[in-house]
Amino acid sequence: MTMTMDNSTQTRFALPAINGSLITTAVVAGAFAPLGFALFGQTISPLLKSIASPYLGAKLAPVALANQSLGVIFGVGAKTISSLGIGHAMHLLTGLLLYPLGYLLVFKPLADGVLRTPWWAKGAIYGAALFVFALYIMAHLVAGNPPFLGWGGITWVALWGHMVFGLIVAWFDHRRTV
């Protein structure tokens, strides 16, 4: 008795071809998604404080968290990391390149195989996953802060900001594949 695999199952988890289109999408999405994240976290959220508090209103401080996390990882103070600009560089590198590539090469292929959802739902889920990585893994497990920074105002701004980031990356990928 021979067993055959359904072709749809075989191709469901296929990794994308790394080609010019994918790299261009990663670079362009990586240019715009951090801008959307920063615009939301530094400008839009504070503007909405009077109508959406406590869920909006705080300003994000991702570089401070990167400095703190890297200080713990390397065994030096956050001020040392900050004075060298390493936290800022790390946050830029992750936003400009690593997170968009993570979506295109890892998350989206897996999500396409498991989730039958539109691009915007995948983007929002990816943003929420980045939020968990930033505020639970890095802020809590690595840097020693309370989980999700104590569920204060900055927590909600970080959730929405990361979801904006994920939506922008997913939109650029969707435009590439249309």
> Cβ contacts of residue 53 below 8 Å, gap of 6+?
153
**What are the start-end ranges of the H helices in 3-152?**
7-12, 20-39, 45-47, 49-52, 62-74, 78-84, 86-93, 99-102, 108-114, 119-132
Q: What's the pLDDT score for residue 122?
A: 96
pLDDT digits 0-9 by tens, 120-159: 999 999 999 999 999 999 999 999 999 999 998 899 999 9
pLDDT-flagged residues of the chain (< 70): 1-12
Q: What's the pLDDT score for residue 9?
A: 47
Q: What's the pLDDT score for residue 2?
A: 54
Q: Rounded CA gap, 51 and 55, in Å?
A: 9
Q: Rounded CA gap, 74 and 90, in Å?
A: 13
> Cβ contacts of residue 117 below 8 Å, gap of 6+?
111, 125
Q: What's the pLDDT score for residue 57?
A: 83
Q: What's the pLDDT score for residue 12?
A: 65
State both tokens at 120: 């915007």
Whether residue 103 contacts residue 170, with contact meaning beta carbons closer than 8 Å, is answered with: yes
State both tokens at 31: 């240019």
